[in-house]
Amino acid sequence: MDVRRRPSKALRPAPKEPSSAPEPTGAKASDALPLPLYFTNALFFTLFFSVAYYLLLRWRDKIRNSVPLHVVTFSELAAILSLIASFIYLLGFFGIDFVQSFIARASNEAWDLVDEEEGEDHRHRLMACSPSMADHIIPAVSSAEDEEIVDLVVKGTIPSYALEEQLGDCKRAVRIRREALQRITRRSLQGLPLDGFDYGSILKQCCEMPVGYVQIPVGVAGPLLLDSFEYIVPMATTEGCIVASTNRGFKGIYASGGATSTILRDGMTRAPVVRFPSASRACHLKFFLDNPSNFQTLADEFNKSSNFARLQGVQCSIAGKNLYMRFSCTTGDAMGMNMVSKGVENVLAYLRNEYPDMDIISISGNFCSDKKPAAINWIEGRGKSAVCEAVIKEEVLKKVFRTSVATLVELNMLKNLAGSAVAGALGGFNAQASNIVSAIFIATGQDPAQNVESSHCITMMEAVNDGKDLHISVTMPSIEVGTIGGGTQLASQSACLDLLGVKGASKELPGANSRLLAKIVAGSVLAGELSLMAAIASGQLVQSHMKYNRSTKDVSKVGS
């Protein structure tokens, strides 16, 4: 077996960033000290106690010799001044934290009281009245210049969205924005990390107005033995059991000789809606688009904005005077929404010349259909349409999954087929496809919102080889994935794509990487279906969820 393991100008100069930039904190008095902090502290401690000791000795002598206490020598006067100076220093250093935390506690309680009694509006009014109070409680940013900019953002003089452009420093912009946010909302963002992320990489591409990033753990399941190759699959999830469940499915598939997958169709769609003065005019354009002799003209227009987008066809639907045109095209290794949209715009510009009475309502008329459950995707497909199958041996079912062929086939019929039919499911004839799809999507930088249609899946199970073995398949008509563009270029997501051997554009054949990723998604869904259905069949579901989904702490709480 050929098995491979693939595995605008700145407002002012930016302050120099510390190598491991700390969370923004208030500038301390100690920042201005000429000596190291511990040395200064030791100095004042020693001074305080030695002059105190000296003064006590002097006062004892005076009492013994009946000298009035207020008559002081020059050295005693110097000692008294030193005592006062060191006392002020020590009070300033150790007392401020205590006083600040006291004020913070007191004012937080005051806010909470206001919230409870008089609602958010009053709270905002109160904030506006006492900005100085806020300054005491919330730690400031690290430099005076940043402090000023935070103030301007809080006042609304600088729009938060313009920080990156105006400062020319993405990380600094994020630090200032989150500081301003904390002051405006009076909520702490502690726990939402700032450091350890390249904010430049998301600029104008992945996320606007960032204030940090959310951490999602990535687990690995595998190897998945698929079409004679092995893959270790990264999955980003916070739901216990998903990775373990997929891993068990992979184990069973591996022990049975692996899974086989096929891509049935590969095309991204976009469907604009246009309106005509009459239904007959809308039909006229439909007939024009349906006519095969016009295809090349349309394709020439469509294809001219990309080297990878190639028009495959246009499917039309009429609603009165309105025409919906579902353009479908190949997109190389990109998921393809941008490409297909640009191509559609080219065609619309061309059609507008031919049909001057055509009114373009929207580049997307929802007949596409993107990120919404729709029968068109379930029936016609969108992105990659894949089918993946495996024959699971009787002994593997017994040993790995503790169930039998007959039990699984019956459960599949009652749950995934009849049960979903009773529920009026649209593409939901499966047990947990979206769990696996979402986890791989997040790990590999796909658009998680496209999980809606990408998780459409029908799981079939059948007894084969005289009823001894189980044939299991998943058919998924609209897996929307890419290995280039969007979130796939970010460092973490790119590392996960690399683990699968599908990072970036395929050098051999455009589209090969994204199609392989779709197959891996289908193979992983196959494993998830097998494992979950077996867990239900053998009554293990609740136990395994208690083991992986509940910490010991939670369980003990439940017990009490």
From 100-108, 224-232, 360-368, 484-492, span contacting ligand ADP (CB under 6 A): 484-492
How far apart CA 407 and CA 261 sit, in angstroms, is: 25
Token reading at 191: 């726990």
Q: Which of 441, 445, 510 is nearest to 478 (CA)?
A: 441
Q: How far is CA 517 from CA 387, 430, 484, in A?
A: 13, 20, 12
Report the residue number, 469 or 480, with the smaller CB distance to ligand ADP: 480
Count of residues that bind ligand ADP according to CB under 6 A: 19
CB of 308 to ligand ADP, least distance (A): 4
CB of 450 to ligand ADP, least distance (A): 11
Token reading at 8: 């605008």
Per CB under 6 A, the list member of 484, 522, 533, 535 interacting with ligand ADP is 484
How far apart CA 454 and CA 144 sit, in angstroms, is: 49
Distance from the first to the final alpha carbon of the chain: 54
Cα Dmax for the chain: 123
Per CB under 6 A, the list member of 24, 234, 252, 336 interacting with ligand ADP is 336
How far apart CA 296 and CA 298 sit, in angstroms, is: 5
Per CB under 6 A, 510 contacts ligand ADP: yes
Per CB under 6 A, 332 contacts ligand ADP: yes
Report the residue number, 258 or 485, with the smaller CB distance to ligand ADP: 485
Per CB under 6 A, 267 contacts ligand ADP: no
Per CB under 6 A, 485 contacts ligand ADP: yes
Q: Which helix (H) or strand (E) holds 249?
A: helix 242-255
CB of 489 to ligand ADP, least distance (A): 8
Report the residue number, 14 or 505, with the smaller CB distance to ligand ADP: 505
Per CB under 6 A, 344 contacts ligand ADP: no
Crossing angle of helices 242-255 and 541-549, in 10° steps, is 130
Q: Which of 98, 122, 101, 100 is nearest to 112 (CA)?
A: 122
How far apart CA 381 and CA 168 sit, in angstroms, is: 43
Per CB under 6 A, 505 contacts ligand ADP: yes
Assess whether 9 carries a catalytic annotation: no
Residues 294-323 within binding reach of ligand ADP (CB under 6 A) = 306-308
Helix, coil or strand: residue 363: coil
Q: Residue 60: how many CB atoms within 10 A of its CB? A: 10
CB of 339 to ligand ADP, least distance (A): 4
CB of 478 to ligand ADP, least distance (A): 15
From 137-145, 233-241, 244-252, 482-490, span contacting ligand ADP (CB under 6 A): 482-490
Report the residue number, 342 or 352, with the smaller CB distance to ligand ADP: 342
Per CB under 6 A, 202 contacts ligand ADP: no
Catalytic entry in 284, 342, 371, 415: 371
Region class of 41: left (phi > 0), else alpha (psi between -120 and 50), else beta: alpha
CB of 188 to ligand ADP, least distance (A): 36
Q: How far is CA 201 from CA 22, 25, 412, 490, 495, in A?
A: 21, 26, 45, 7, 15
Per CB under 6 A, the list member of 176, 221, 235, 339 interacting with ligand ADP is 339
Per CB under 6 A, 486 contacts ligand ADP: yes
How far apart CA 555 and CA 433 sit, in angstroms, is: 28
Assess whether 545 carries a catalytic annotation: yes
Token reading at 474: 């998943």
Assess whether 118 carries a catalytic annotation: no
CB of 516 to ligand ADP, least distance (A): 13
Report cis status (omega within 30 of 0) of the bond before 492: no
Report the residue number, 139 or 486, with the smaller CB distance to ligand ADP: 486
Report the residue number, 477 or 485, with the smaller CB distance to ligand ADP: 485
Per CB under 6 A, 337 contacts ligand ADP: yes
DSSP state of 103: H
Report cis status (omega within 30 of 0) of the bond before 139: no
Catalytic entry in 179, 447, 453, 529: 447
Report the residue number, 327 or 429, with the smaller CB distance to ligand ADP: 327
Per CB under 6 A, 203 contacts ligand ADP: no
Token reading at 419: 């049960």
Report the residue number, 307 or 353, with the smaller CB distance to ligand ADP: 307
Residue 539 identity (one-letter amino acid): G
Query: Where are the alpha helices (H) located in 216-290, listed in sequence order?
Result: 242-255, 279-290
**Backbone Cα Rg of the chain:** 34
Report the residue number, 335 or 437, with the smaller CB distance to ligand ADP: 335
Q: Which of 138, 171, 145, 147 is nearest to 18 (CA)?
A: 171
From 60-68, 167-175, 327-335, 528-536, span contacting ligand ADP (CB under 6 A): 327-335
Where does residue 40 rank: exposed (0-12), middle (13-18), buried (19+ CB within 10 A)? middle
Catalytic entry in 23, 145, 148, 239: 239
Per CB under 6 A, 334 contacts ligand ADP: yes
How far apart CA 112 and CA 489 sit, in angstroms, is: 43
Per CB under 6 A, 533 contacts ligand ADP: no
Per CB under 6 A, 383 contacts ligand ADP: no
Per CB under 6 A, the list member of 333, 370, 480, 529 interacting with ligand ADP is 333
Residues 6+ positions from 117 with CB-CB distance below 8 Å: none
CB of 491 to ligand ADP, least distance (A): 17
CB of 185 to ligand ADP, least distance (A): 33
Residues 102-141 within binding reach of ligand ADP (CB under 6 A) = none
Query: Where are the alpha helices (H) located in 65-167, listed in sequence order?
Result: 74-129, 131-137, 144-155, 163-167
From 130-138, 258-266, 337-345, 526-534, span contacting ligand ADP (CB under 6 A): 337-345
Contacting residues toward ligand ADP, per CB under 6 A: 306-308, 331-339, 482, 484-486, 505-506, 510
Which residues participate in catalysis according to the annotation? 239, 371, 447, 545
